[in-house]
Chains A and B, each alone.
Chain A
Amino acid sequence: MRPVVAEPSRTLAGSLKSAGGRLLSLPISYIGTILLVVYAGLARPVLLQPFLLMLILRQAAPLGLAVIGQSLCIRVLSLDLSFGGVAMVVSYVLTSGYLKWPEPALIALCLVFGVAVGALNAFFIARLRASSVIVTLAMVLVLSGVVTAFSQYRAPGDSPDFIKYLGQTRIGIVPLAPLVWLGVLIPIAIFLRASVFGRYIDAIGANPRAAWASGLPYVRVVFAAHILSSLFAVLSAFLLVGFVGFGSLSIGADLALNSLAAVILGGVTFGSGKGGMLGPAVAAFMLVFCFNLLTSFGLGEPGKEMTQGAIIALAAIAYASRTLRQ
Chain B
Amino acid sequence: MSNSRIRRFGRTGLGLIPLGLPVLMFILLAVQSPDFFEPQNIANVISQVAALLIVALGQLLVALIGGIDISVGSVLSLTSALIVSIANPWLAIGSALGASLLVGAANGVGVTIFGVHPLIMTLASMTFVQGFTLLVLPAAGGNVPDPLIMLAKASVGGFPAAFFWCVAVSLIASVLLYKSRFGLRVFAIGASSENAALNGVDVITPRVVCYVLCSVSSAVAGIYLTGRISTGDPTMGQPFSLDSVTAIALGGVQLAGGVGSVIGAVLGTVTLGLIANGMNLLGVSPFLRAALTGVLLLGAISLQRRRTIGV
Residues of A within 8 A of B (CB): 76-79, 124-126, 128-135, 137-146, 148-149, 152, 208, 218-219, 222, 257, 260, 264, 270, 301-310, 312-313, 316-317, 320-321, 323-324
A152 to B304, CA, bound (A): 36
* Contact call A149/B117, Cβ cutoff below 8 A: no
Stretch in B3-11, B28-36, B266-274, B287-295 touching the partner: B287-295
A124 to B304, CA, bound (A): 11
Give, as a whole number of angstroms, the nearest-CB distance from B63 to chain A. Answer: 11
**What are 22 of the A-B contact pairs (CB < 8 Å)?**
A78-B310, A126-B309, A128-B305, A130-B304, A135-B301, A138-B242, A141-B242, A143-B291, A144-B290, A145-B290, A145-B292, A208-B308, A219-B309, A304-B131, A305-B127, A312-B127, A313-B110, A313-B128, A316-B116, A317-B110, A317-B116, A321-B114
* Contact call B293/A131, Cβ cutoff below 8 A: no
Question: B121 interface residue, CB < 8 Å from A?
Answer: yes
Which residue of A125, A133, A149, A317 contacts B288 across the interface (Cβ within 8 Å)? A149
* Contact call A257/B134, Cβ cutoff below 8 A: no
Give, as a whole number of angstroms, the nearest-CB distance from A213 to chain B. Answer: 13
Question: B119 interface residue, CB < 8 Å from A?
Answer: yes
Give, as a whole number of angstroms, the nearest-CB distance from A159 to chain B. Answer: 23
Give, as a whole number of angstroms, the nearest-CB distance from B57 to chain A. Answer: 19
A131 to B305, CA, bound (A): 10
* Contact call B127/A131, Cβ cutoff below 8 A: no
Which residue of A77, A138, A142 contacts B310 across the interface (Cβ within 8 Å)? A77
* Contact call B242/A302, Cβ cutoff below 8 A: no
A145-B290, A316-B124, A320-B114 as given contacts; A218 in contact with B309, CB under 8 Å: yes
How many A-B contacts if CB must be within 8 Å? 173
Chain B count of residues within 8 A CB distance of the other chain: 50
From DSSP, what is the main secondary structure of chain A's interface residues? helix
Residue ID in chain B nearest A317 by CB atoms: B114
Which residue of B131, B135, B287, B291 contacts A308 across the interface (Cβ within 8 Å)? B131
Residue ID in chain B nearest A142 by CB atoms: B294
A141-B290, A270-B117, A302-B135 as given contacts; A130 in contact with B301, CB under 8 Å: yes
Contacts of A124 in B (CB 8 A): 298, 301-302
A76 to B311, CA, bound (A): 10
* Contact call A309/B126, Cβ cutoff below 8 A: yes
A139 to B292, CA, bound (A): 10
Contacts of B157 in A (CB 8 A): none
Residue ID in chain B nearest A315 by CB atoms: B124
* Contact call B311/A77, Cβ cutoff below 8 A: yes
Give, as a whole number of angstroms, the nearest-CB distance from B174 to chain A. Answer: 26
Contacts of B127 in A (CB 8 A): 257, 305-306, 308-309, 312
Residue ID in chain B nearest A147 by CB atoms: B287
Give, as a whole number of angstroms, the nearest-CB distance from B17 to chain A. Answer: 15
Contacts of A126 in B (CB 8 A): 309
* Contact call B288/A146, Cβ cutoff below 8 A: yes
* Contact call A142/B311, Cβ cutoff below 8 A: no
* Binary A-proximity of B122-139 (CB < 8 A = 1, otherwise 0): 011111111111110010
Residue ID in chain B nearest A145 by CB atoms: B291
A122 to B302, CA, bound (A): 12
Contacts of B126 in A (CB 8 A): 309
